[in-house]
Amino acid sequence: MVFTYYYWRYGGKDDGYESIEQASILTEFAYKLGIWFMQTYGDWNYEPTGFVMPEDTSKNIDFNTTIKQQEEKIQELTETIKKTSSANPVVSLVDRRKRSHSTADKINLSEKETRYLIDEQLRKVGWEADTLTIRYSKGTRPQKGKNLAIAEWPTDSTVGDRGYVDYALFVGQQLVGVVEAKRQLADIPSVIDYQCREYAKNIKTEHAGYLISRWGDYQVPFLFATNGRKYLKQLETKSGIWFLDARKSTNIAKAQQGWVSPQGVMELLVQDIDKANQDLKHTSYDLLTDKDGLNLSAYGNARTAYYRNLWQAGIYLFLPGSRH
């Protein structure tokens, strides 16, 4: 709900709602915020009707008169609240907080609204993202020196929305990730398995110049899926940002708290996990007895042998495929 309030209140502040589409999204945000407020601080039995987008009557409106009428209506409603609030039963802070959380959980953002939230999340970690303007259909293409999250990137996949992935992530002209955004109640891990994997395997031939490499059937290394909701353990598969490193077939999707920055993505790309595991596996025991190392030989052979076994067990625990 904090996200919803923030974008409704400040989302159009900088650009003056130059986009009708943006204004429409924020209007629906405001409607859903109003429902939450009513069900939390007003009538707990209130059941909302479906949202209906107001007609565009901007060409026929006397804005000064309309603003004055709306201000008078706000004042009237404010007075009504003051008169009725004293008659309402007192609700404890604990009960109010529980009600707030339960009401917020019932709000189901559309996929378009979810993308609007994801745009800001991506921007915060360094990606240029704007679903309404930075999109393939409007001519946006990867550029040197830019970290772009390009919306509606076409692929040859036959699943999902006609093969269009919600975002393709580019560091310069390198395609480093695909992102699929879903409605808030969607099961996120299944989105990676069903859609993201297919998008990453089916990049169009004309976009081959953006590929870094191939990893088996995959042409894109990193796959993401989210519904914009912060990760909650109690809603594990329906929250968070799910991430899969597709470079290794044994990797599985995992939930993470936040987005990876462009710099973080490039750091992941240069990591050679297999080589690091092999280096760890073959690390010499000399470190245990070396005077410039742990120098455990000073404690006697029995203790040195004990710590050597611990060292071996510790390495084993960190290697993939170990059971612990």
Please give the chain's pLDDT, 324 residues, in tens: 444 444 444 444 444 445 677 777 778 778 888 888 888 887 778 888 888 877 776 676 677 888 888 899 888 888 877 776 666 667 788 888 888 877 776 777 777 888 888 999 999 999 999 998 999 999 999 999 999 999 999 999 987 667 899 999 999 999 999 999 887 666 788 888 889 999 999 999 999 999 999 999 999 999 999 887 776 776 777 778 899 999 998 999 998 888 999 999 999 998 765 555 555 555 565 655 666 655 555 555 665 566 556 555 554 444 454 444
User: Which residues have C-beta within 8 Å of that of residue 158, sequence separation ≥ 6?
Assistant: 198
| Segment (H or E) for 300 | none
Cβ atoms of residues 140 and 168 within 8 Å? no
Cβ atoms of residues 176 and 186 within 8 Å? no
Give the residue numbers spanning the domain of 264. 111-270
Q: Radius of gyration of the chain from Cα atoms?
A: 27
Structure tokens at 30: 């405001």
Instruction: Say if residue 37 is in the same domain as residue 172.
Output: no
Number of domains within the chain: 3
How far apart are alpha carbons 283 and 315 in whole angstroms? Answer: 9
Could you tell me the sign of the dihedral formed by the alpha carbons of 310, 312, 315, 320, in that order?
negative
Full-model pTM: 0.66
Instruction: Say if residue 118 is in the same domain as residue 256.
Output: yes
User: Which residues have C-beta within 8 Å of that of residue 221, sequence separation ≥ 6?
Assistant: 176, 177, 212, 213, 215, 245, 246, 247, 268, 269
How far apart are alpha carbons 45 and 217 in whole angstroms? Answer: 52
Instruction: Say if residue 122 is in the same domain as residue 205.
Output: yes
Instruction: Say if residue 255 is in the same domain as residue 125.
Output: yes
Instruction: Say if residue 138 is in the same domain as residue 154.
Output: yes
Instruction: Say if residue 249 is in the same domain as residue 120.
Output: yes
Instruction: Say if residue 191 is in the same domain as residue 243.
Output: yes
User: Domain containing 190 — which CATH number?
Assistant: 3.90.1570
Instruction: Say if residue 20 is in the same domain as residue 93.
Output: yes
Asked whether residue 323 is assigned to any structural domain, the reply reads no
CA angle 220–221–227, rounded 5-degree value: 85
How far apart are alpha carbons 277 and 214 in whole angstroms? Answer: 22
Instruction: Say if residue 30 is in the same domain as residue 143.
Output: no
